[in-house]
Structure 1
Amino acid sequence: MSDQSSYRHIVSTRASVRVAVAVARAAATLAALGAAVLLPAAVAPTASATDGGTAAGPLAAAPLAAAPPAVPRAVRVPQSARVPRTAPVRQAWPAEGVQPQRPLQPVREPVQEAVAFQAARAAAGSPTVWDRIAMCESSGNWHINTGNGYYGGLQFWQPTWEQFGGLAYARRADLAEPAEQIAVAEEVLKVQGWDAWPVCAKRQGLTGRNHIVHTVRSGETLSGIARSYATPGGWQQLYRLNKAVIGPDPDRLIPGTVLTVN
């Protein structure tokens, strides 16, 4: 072989090597990105039987890159196997734009019964002793507040109202119901007698501890009231004193009835 032919062979071989290296680098880059690359047969010749399985060319064939795993397709669930969706249940009340009412306050039945009973007696022309005292003290205005330091129909002095339990009903007597004022007045009566209303009680012929009265409340009995006031003769004497207002049945007490205790 001439020198010129040898030089051409060397140049051709070097060019082939450069091309093979460039292709190999490109294949490695693509393989890193997850693409499958197959080297051309002219650049990466197959192995021959004479060289024991090694590549005859300057660069062995590059292995095939692993294909990315297949993405599973979404499985459609048959309509019959689907779980039905439950629609939210809307409340029928309160309607939109309507504010629910506030819960009703508990009704004080004993007080209402007492007020109704006293109103019925007053309408019938037979006011109770407390109605007469109130008419004298405040012209019958149970919610009067003149600013003189005395309040309500029976003109309670504020310390007296507080001392005898009035705050359980209202912070002042004029803010309490008539039956509530009477309940406090009877607690005062047990301790001070009629002298707590010196002018108006005297006009009714009531002085000291004579003719102490008690207004029946819901659930009370004659025996319980007699024990409360230590009435001599017990409930029988209490019934004899008040048979005209109680009626023929001593076990039937109407709330609001005013009983004479002694």
Structure 2
Amino acid sequence: MSKIRFRPTATAVALLLALVPLSGAYAAPPPPPPPPPASVSPGVGMGSGSDACAASGWPWSCLAACESGGRWNANTGNGYYGGLQFWQPTWEEHGGLAYAPRADLATREQQIKVAEEVLRTQGWEAWPVCAKTYGLSGRVHTVQPGDTLFAIAERFRVKGGWQALYAANKATIGSSPHLLRVRMMLVIPV
């Protein structure tokens, strides 16, 4: 019969280590949104008021200005709803029903949360005309709590792993690859 030895110190240390976050994604506040491309003139002919395209609303307010005139409650009868003009099946497939039955009934913030999920699965091509207007292309991942470059690279099968993901996003991430910030947008290299 084997003897099982209980080690309270080792057990306590193991429990504490399990509770310590391993990624900087927990601690840092969301970064300010990146500025719109220099070729864009925010606000010009893009809706009115606080919903108009401005550097402070980049990129979602700009897309909404283009898609719906900046009206987050848009329901024009064309089968697309909300500021970002969600098709109902897309709204449902990306978690929108957790917020509202249709996108036009959800808040701006709720629509953006769903849009971040759409962006992760479809890329900017989900908004083909307006994304092209603003020079947005490719697949993007919005950093979530607990994300690491390694995990993101694995999820998207990035050739070259986390190092390639970091190289593609060094200007956004900064000099420390372990300091991801929640809601930071990372380009997924092809």
TM-score by length of 1: 0.46
Q: Which runs of 5+ in 1 are unaligned?
A: 1-109
In structure 2, the partner of 1:250 is 177
Deviates more, 1:131-140 or 1:186-195: 186-195
- In 2 relative to 1, CA 126–238 (structure 1 residues): closer, same or farther, beyond 3 Å? farther
Does the Cα contact within 8 Å between 1:216 and 1:255 map onto a contact in 2?
yes
Does the Cα contact within 8 Å between 1:214 and 1:259 map onto a contact in 2?
yes
**Is 1:231 the counterpart of 2:158 in the alignment?**
yes
CA distance in 1, matches of 2:101, 2:151: 29
Does the Cα contact within 8 Å between 1:117 and 1:256 map onto a contact in 2?
no
- In 2 relative to 1, CA 166–249 (structure 1 residues): closer, same or farther, beyond 3 Å? same
How far residue 237 of structure 1 moved from its aligned partner, in angstroms, is 1.0
Identity %: 53
Does the Cα contact within 8 Å between 1:117 and 1:255 map onto a contact in 2?
no
Does the Cα contact within 8 Å between 1:183 and 1:215 map onto a contact in 2?
no
- 1:238 alignment partner AA: L
**Does 1 or 2 have the higher relative contact order (CA < 8 Å, sep 6+)?**
2
CA distance in 1, matches of 2:108, 2:32: 12
In structure 1, the partner of 2:62 is 132
How far residue 186 of structure 1 moved from its aligned partner, in angstroms, is 4.2
How far residue 190 of structure 1 moved from its aligned partner, in angstroms, is 5.0
> How many residue pairs are counted as aligned between the two chains?
144
- In 2 relative to 1, CA 177–121 (structure 1 residues): closer, same or farther, beyond 3 Å? farther
**Is 1:172 the counterpart of 2:99 in the alignment?**
no
Larger radius of gyration: 1
Q: Secondary structure at the match of 2:144?
A: coil
CA distance in 1, matches of 2:109, 2:32: 10
Does the Cα contact within 8 Å between 2:82 and 2:103 map onto a contact in 1?
yes
**Is 1:146 the counterpart of 2:75 in the alignment?**
yes
TM-score by length of 2: 0.60
Task: Please give the root-mean-square deviation of Cα atoms over the aligned residues, in Å.
Answer: 3.1
Matches within 5 A, 1:15-54: none
